[in-house]
Chains A and B, each alone.
Chain A
Amino acid sequence: MSVLIVVECDGGEVKKSSLEVASYGSQVAQLLGTSATAVAVGEATEANLAKLGEQGIAKVLYDNEPRLKDFVNGAYTKLIAAAAQQEDAKVIVLANSNIGAAVGSRLSVRLQASLATNVVELPKTEGGSFTVKRGAFSGKAFADVKLDGERKIIAVKKNSIEALHEAGKTAEVVSFSAQLTDADFADAPKQVVMQDQAGGILLPEADKVVSGGRGMKGPENWNLIEDLAQALGAATACSKPVSDVDWRPHHEHVGQTGITVSPNLYIACGISGAIQHLAGVNSSKVIVVINKDPEAPFFKAADYGIVGDVFDVLPKLTQAVKELS
């Protein structure tokens, strides 16, 4: 028996969310008195995979097949299922990412496992039951969910688990092959287009986010958002109406019908705080709101606020951040 952890890599590096997933998985292994093995997908280097020892991983399986560098739902599912069989995995842990959810849902059927996505805490295993806490109602609630059956799959929400760092520990990297055939690559991409992201910080992985709404008045003013984001090392985001009118690209749209983010710091500039917007951001650890209207609903969901004009306040904040270092 073991716990199998799916680690997503990109450009040779292990994604930050996957370090959290690895830490989650190794703690589950400890809880169940077993070992933690990882299977890596995407483009990885052996040196970076070995460093997963710091997150409590004993062994990492890696298939060098070049076609696995990009996400392919069919092939990833088969690879992970094969790893799960080999390792006799009773619990599989992955990221609650687009890749993790797409693969996890197929795996749950193939391995006859129960599945919980959007999980925010380590499981509780009292009295032989296995219960996880997950986000529901678009960030407006949580649900404790009991997972039945012999095998379980858990998709862990980003930024809900602290990554472990046990310096000096290394994992053994073992090559692994799942005998993939052409049929497993039916949904292989013809082309991959990566976003041109300001400062190279991806919104779903970001620790800090600076977000703008209709109060920014027009796309020509986004330099104010970008300057603060750059000074902080933050990603940029926006409200729905802003992406609807193409002031900003769609992948920056956060909220109930956009992406959900849970950074340590979310700074909302000229956003009213409609319930659909809050749904996508209210699991952020600290929320800062800048709005000229003291009655804006966002202040009720905020930790810090400035009642003021974004055009006046944003440059001051950027300046103050620069003075910090």
Chain B
Amino acid sequence: MKFLVCISNVPDTTTKITFTPDNKEFNKAGVQFVINPWDEYALTRAIELKEAQGGTVTVLNVGEADTEPNIRKALAIGADDAIRVNAFPKDAFFVAQQIAAIAKDGGYDVILMGKESIDYNGFQVHGMVGELLGIPTVAPAMKLDMSGNTATLEREIEGGKEIVEVSTPFVASCQQPMCEPRIPNMRGIMTARTKPLKVVEPTGEGARTEVAAYALPPAKQGVKLIPAENAGELIKLLRNEAKVI
């Protein structure tokens, strides 16, 4: 079984978000980047399935050279090799085209990624890749089991879940509680240094969308405190002042 796990490089979840003076780009200065937390579910589950029934796990990132530390981290967690498409990930469609091209060339059976990236929050790439390849997508998946070429997944829908069975090849976008994401151990970190990381140039058409400007949400007015003894007063304020109940 050939697993392809797509990872994106995102600001650490504690990052205070700021933008460049023209508001066109995220301000990377001093920011720590991590593997997108949703992608960690995809990565760990692929490694678990490979350990259980054999195969290989390739990680794929569309990004410039500064994403390599996190690609190495994915190798340290247990992926076998890596591919970096050397390009700024302009939009979801641009990224999806790169993933689809590599998935097709490499004959991958299972293409996994996180539900969405925590920076762009697109929740789009999985469906685009599935459609470009003409194969099913299961999104978002909370559980993934495999038996031979058949996968059983739990797909979250609003208010419940669907149990879905698909055969390879397919795409799934992953979320909790699929597995407990692994962290690298010392041996993993040592071996990751010598695992292959191939860099390729992008293909396909360009992007279909463009960010005109970023903005921060308006700041809160400040909290109105109600003494605990008088807790019932809060409910009156919610009705008469905030008008939400």
Our verdict on whether A and B bind, yes or no, reads yes
Residues of A within 8 A of B (CB): 10, 15, 70-71, 73-74, 77, 96-99, 101-106, 108-110, 113-118, 131, 135-149, 186-195, 197, 202, 204-205, 208, 232, 250-251, 253, 256-258, 264-265, 275-276, 279, 282-283, 285-289, 299-309, 312-313, 316-317, 319-321, 323-324
Contact of B165 with A250 in the complex, beta carbons under 8 Å: no
CA of A91 to CA of B84, assembled, Å: 34
Q: Taking the complex as formed, is B69 at the interface, i.e. its CB lies under 8 A from any CB of chain A? A: no
16 extra interface residue pairs, beta carbon distance < 8 Å, beyond A70-B162, A138-B13, A144-B212: A101-B123, A108-B127, A109-B127, A137-B119, A141-B216, A143-B211, A148-B210, A190-B164, A257-B175, A306-B228, A316-B232, A317-B231, A319-B232, A320-B232, A321-B245, A324-B239
Given contacts A140-B17, A187-B136, contact A99 B157 (CB under 8 A): yes
A136, B128: Cβ atoms under 8 Å?
Answer: no
- Whether A190 lies near B121 (C-beta < 8 A) is no
Q: How far is the CA of A148 from the CA of B207 in the complex (A)?
A: 9
The residue in B175, B208, B212, B228 that gathers the most chain A C-beta atoms within 10 A of its C-beta is: B208
Interface of B is mostly: mixed
Contact B176 A145 (CB under 8 A): no
Do B118 and A137 touch (CB < 8 A)? yes
For B164, the chain A residues whose CB sits under 8 A away are 187-190
The contact of B127 among A101, A194, A286, A316, by CB within 8 Å, is A101
The residue in chain A whose Cβ has the minimal distance to the Cβ of B207 is A148
Question: Measured between C-beta atoms, what is the minimum distance from B12 to chain A in Å?
Answer: 10
Interface of A is mostly: mixed
Contact B226 A306 (CB under 8 A): yes
Report the count of interface residues on B (CB-CB < 8 A). 75
Q: Mark B205-242, 1 if CB is under 8 A from A, else 0.
A: 00011111111110011011111100110111111001
Cβ of B67 to closest chain A Cβ, rounded Å:
18
Interchain CB contact under 8 A, B208 and A149: yes
- In chain B, positions 133-158 with a C-beta closer than 8 Å to chain A are 136-140, 142, 155-158
Which residues of the partner chain B approach A250 to less than 8 Å between Cβ atoms?
A: 142, 176-177
Q: How far is the CB of A100 from chain B (nearest CB, A)?
A: 9
Contact B139 A142 (CB under 8 A): no
Q: How far is the CA of A91 from the CA of B131 in the complex (A)?
A: 19
- Sorted from nearest, which 7 A-B pairs have the closest CB atoms? A105-B127, A308-B228, A189-B162, A320-B232, A194-B160, A109-B131, A114-B208
Q: Which of B176, B212, B235 has the most CB of A within 10 A?
A: B235
CB-based contact B236/A304 at 8 Å: no
Q: Is B92 an interface residue (CB 8 A)?
A: yes
Closest to A313 in B: B231
Q: Are A193 and B119 in contact (CB under 8 A)?
A: no
Q: How far is the CA of A144 from the CA of B23 in the complex (A)?
A: 10
